[in-house]
């Protein structure tokens, strides 16, 4: 978006406004486009077989290219008419209130930097590969999009309650980041941490994690370690299930 567009977006946000930036797409180097291409080509063969159908459809809907870093304006232009979501560039990690405000406004806070060739498998902080390749295709799915917006709205209303927020953080972790779903009798991945990591995804599809049926009360009480491979994951039967679960969590915590 141009400067006028940025002002318009900022006008809808309060706590998140200072973190919005422009993506300078032209400044990406040929080497960076080549790293993106390598990251995508490493993941796609496995994902075509093991990602949920909604992820793969979303990948095409938002127009991701295998050989070129995404232009977030172009991604949002394809996404917004479908589900109202945008992929909105931000300067880096957001404080929780700003993060939830953006989700509630259907704007996904998106980093614009790209990992280097020395960390193709893992970066401790999210980069544009994790954020766009890992997260944004799912935002083209109407039910998932509604779930994520509602999730942000609930959490924005819980800022005074750190215990409730921690429980909601577990819901996010075991769905948006590390969610799996059963489709046609097979386990498929949809969480960005599994979509974007070859090692973690391989371990899960080869049976290296315990898969439990998704239960929101269990999930809200399941502690996790962000620095380790996940020993336990929760499988849903449909995306309606996580939307309903979020409403149940809201009723329990609100």
Q: How far apart are CA 46 and CA 233, in angstroms?
A: 19
Query: In this complex, which beta carbon is closest to Fe ion, that of residue 1 or of residue 180?
Result: 180
CB of 228 to Fe ion, least distance (A): 16
Cβ atoms 164, 195 nearer than 8 A: no
Find the binder of Fe ion among 192, 197, 230, 246 (CB under 5 A). 192
CB of 99 to Fe ion, least distance (A): 11
Q: Is the dihedral of CA 5, 69, 141, 120 positive or negative?
A: negative
Q: Is 207 left (phi over 0), alpha (psi -120 to 50) or beta?
A: left
Q: Quick check: is 130 catalytic? A: yes
C-alpha distances in angstroms, 219 versus 61, 238, 242?
31, 16, 11
Query: 50, 135, 139, 141: which one is catalytic?
Result: 135
111 lines the binding site for Fe ion (CB under 5 A): no
Find the part of the chain contacting Fe ion (CB under 5 A) among 85-93, 110-118, 186-194, 203-211.
Answer: 186-194
Query: 196, 197, 200, 250: which one is catalytic?
Result: 196
Q: How far apart are CA 219 and CA 39, in angstroms?
A: 31
Tell me which residue has its CB nearest to Fe ion.
192
Query: 76, 101, 139, 177: which one is catalytic?
Result: 177
Find the part of the chain contacting Fe ion (CB under 5 A) among 86-94, 114-122, 191-199, 224-232.
Answer: 191-199
Q: Is the dihedral of CA 125, 130, 132, 134 positive or negative?
A: negative
Query: In this complex, which beta carbon is closest to Fe ion, that of residue 61 or of residue 136?
Result: 136
Find the part of the chain contacting Fe ion (CB under 5 A) among 49-57, 62-70, 145-153, 188-196.
Answer: 188-196
149 lines the binding site for Fe ion (CB under 5 A): no
By the criterion CB under 5 A, which residues form the site for Fe ion? 192
Instruction: Name the residues annotated as catalytic.
Output: 130, 135, 177, 196
């Amino acid at each position: 978006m141009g400067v006028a567009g940025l002002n318009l977006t900022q006008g809808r946000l309060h706590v998140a406004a200072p973190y919005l930036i422009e993506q300078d797409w032209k400044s990406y180097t040929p080497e960076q486009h080549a790293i993106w291409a390598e990251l995508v080509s490493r993941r796609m063969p496995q994902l075509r077989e093991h990602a949920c159908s909604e992820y793969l459809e979303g990948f095409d809907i938002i127009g991701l290219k295998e050989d070129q870093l995404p232009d977030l304006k172009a991604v949002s232009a394809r996404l917004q008419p479908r589900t109202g979501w945008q992929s909105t560039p931000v300067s880096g990690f957001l404080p929780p209130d700003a993060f939830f405000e953006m989700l509630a406004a259907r704007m996904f806070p998106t980093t614009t930097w790209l990992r280097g060739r020395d960390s193709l498998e893992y970066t401790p902080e999210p980069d544009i590969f994790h954020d766009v390749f890992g997260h944004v295709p799912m935002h083209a799915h109407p039910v998932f999009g509604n779930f994520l917006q509602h999730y942000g709205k609930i959490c924005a209303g819980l800022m005074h309650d750190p215990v409730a927020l921690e429980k909601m953080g577990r819901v996010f972790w075991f769905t948006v980041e590390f969610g799996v779903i059963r489709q046609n009798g097979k386990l498929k991945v949809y969480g960005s941490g599994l979509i974007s990591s070859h090692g973690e995804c391989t371990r899960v599809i080869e049976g290296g994690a315990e898969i439990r049926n998704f239960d929101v009360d269990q999930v809200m009480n399941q502690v996790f370690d962000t620095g380790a491979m996940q020993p336990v994951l929760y499988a849903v039967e449909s995306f309606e299930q996580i939307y309903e679960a979020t409403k149940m969590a809201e009723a329990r915590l609100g």
